[in-house]
Copies of this chain bind each other. A is one copy, B any other.
Amino acid sequence: MRMNQGVEWAVHVLLSLAWVDDGEPVSTARLAASYELPQAYLNKQLQALVRAGILESLPGARGGFRLARPAEKITLMDVVMAVEGPEPAFQCTEIRRQGMGADAPESSFRLACAVNTSMQRAELAWRKSLASQTIADVKAEAELHAPAIAGVARRAYGRD
């Protein structure tokens, strides 16, 4: 069970765009260059963020991407959902009904599969933690770790 690499890219890109506080969009080319990522593939991932309403895209020359809402309103859960899709990691296939339990009365399956319930409980804890952390939080922590980074980013994405 490995998470898509796009999630890591997306969070870093969102941080970068959060540092560019003016409303100027930043192109995929510049974003890709600043992390040495394959430009076309990064673009593909960013499109998912646009579809999810996290980013706004501006076409044409001087176009690019910018945050669709303030960083305080973007949670890590939003990002993961946008890139990975909404399906839970653990998907119950109801094998309890197969074979041995095939001829059990329907009433036995009224309540949810206990295995699924337990796994979903764990996944919910994961989701809650992701939902409790915003891009702004991560940004603050990053600046705490390396205060120079905000300036570096602003300079890297500046128009000139």
Contact = CB atoms under 8 A, between A and B. Distances in A.
11 contacts: A1-B4, A8-B91, A8-B93, A11-B118, A37-B98, A89-B89, A108-B149, A114-B138, A118-B138, A122-B127, A122-B133
Interface residues of A, number: 64
Number of copies: 2
Contacts of A7: 90, 119
A11 to B, nearest CB: 5
Interface of A: 1-5, 7-9, 11-12, 15, 33-37, 76, 84, 87, 89-93, 95-96, 98-101, 104, 108-112, 114-115, 117-119, 121-130, 133, 137-139, 141-142, 145-146, 148-149, 152-153, 156
Contacts of A98: 35-37
